[in-house]
Structure formats: C-alpha cells, structure tokens
Structure 1
Amino acid sequence: FRPDDQDLLKRLCSSIRIMSAKTERTFIAVKPDGVQRGLMGEIIKRFEQKGFRLVAMKFLQASEDLLKQHYIDLKDRPFYPGLVKYMSSGPVLAMVWEGLNVVKTGRVMLGETNPADSKPGTIRGDFCIEVGRNIIHGSDSVDSANTEISLWFKPEELVSFKSCAQQWIYE
C-alpha cells in the first residue's frame, strides 16, 4: 500500500466499524427539581450538542404506580418511599435519546449520583448540591434503558429518523 491508500483504508475501516456498531437508546428524565429550576432546555441542549438524537419526549406528572415500577430495584432501600413521593411531587420530562454509546456517555454527562462527587462540566456538577435533589435520571445500562423506555413510552411514541447532521457527527 502507498501512504495515501493506508489513510483511505483506515478511514473506511473506521466508518464500517461505526456503521456496524449498534446504535443504542437511553432513557433520561429531568426530575421535578430540574423542571422547577428551568433546566430542561439546558439539558436537552447538552445532549443535542453532543450529537445525540432525541427520539421521544413527554412532559408529565408521573403516577406513584409508574414510579414504583421504575424504581422497583430500590424498593428495599430506606430512601425508597421518599424518592417515590418526591418524584411524584411535580412534573418530569421523560426522554429517549439515541446514538453511539449513548448510555455510557449519557452517564458521564450527568455526573455522579451524588453531586458532591460530580466534576464541573457535568450536569450534576454544574447544577446540583444535594443527592436528594440531583435533577436528572439516566439509565445505567442498555438493559435498564430498554426496560425504562418500555415502561415510560409505547413503541409508536418512539420516532426513528436520520438526522441530516449525522454525517457531520460520525465518520
């Protein structure tokens, strides 16, 4: 191979790898404190600017039944009743985002669950002080994302589309 051919080959392999990688989805919810503080737009902006695609969104007052299902894995924890009560105390913004490694990258963008451990530049690092008011939820795995998405959204509420910006985000 000539040097030019190797560069072309490297770019083609990179494109094939990215195109063959399964695009994943994650569930992100702005909690009542984030809604009340007017942070929904900033959070959406950060995910869009990163290059992720919003495929579903709804603004709702979540029922206690929905929240109990959502947080079922925490039901034996002492903070569970307070968490369900808090999450049902005001509206939430439920969203589904799509993109390459969106679950892992989304968690990095959110910051640590405890805002005191979150770095500046993360959503919680920039906007939160206490763990009980950490403004946002994000799926912690692809499996939990799929479960949470199916809990909060019907299949027909998910809109798949190809963004014209995709060619400027992925090689």
Structure 2
Amino acid sequence: MGPTKVFRARNNVPDSIRGAYGLTDTRNTTHGSDSPASASREIAFFFPEFNEQLWYQQEEPRLRCGQVYYNAEERVHCVFRDEETELT
C-alpha cells in the first residue's frame, strides 16, 4: 500500500498503491488497520453480517493452502467448498 502520507508515498515508494493513486492523506485509495483488534472492529462495523471467527475456522485455512479461484461474474476471489472441484 505504501506510507499513509501520500507525499511520502509518492517520493519514497512511487510504485505503491498510494504513491501511484493517492490524492491526499484522507483520499489515499486504501485502508489498512493498525492492529488485529482494530481490524476486527472495522470489519464488524463495515460488514456486520460477516462472521470473522467462522471465516478463520473454515475459509482461512483453505486460503493458505491456495484453494481459491477468481469468480469473474461476481468479481471476487472465492474459496473452494468441500463439494466443489478445482477448475482446470
């Protein structure tokens, strides 16, 4: 992502997301939480229907194993379910 300050990003890491696309420090194109606790609060705020604990138990291990595919129709990466087979 690059430094939070767009000026620093443009000068120090111009190929980062913020260096290339950031406009101001508040319009810096991306957000990253500063800690796991902050991330949990922010996820719960923006995605109240998302069950973080369930994701860590069921989806995250598959993600680490590379069992994901890109769904072009929904424009998201998805984790293969037990009943699904990998695309070839």
TM-score, normalising length: structure 1:
0.28
Q: Structure 2 length as normaliser, TM-score?
A: 0.50
Structure number, greater radius of gyration: 1
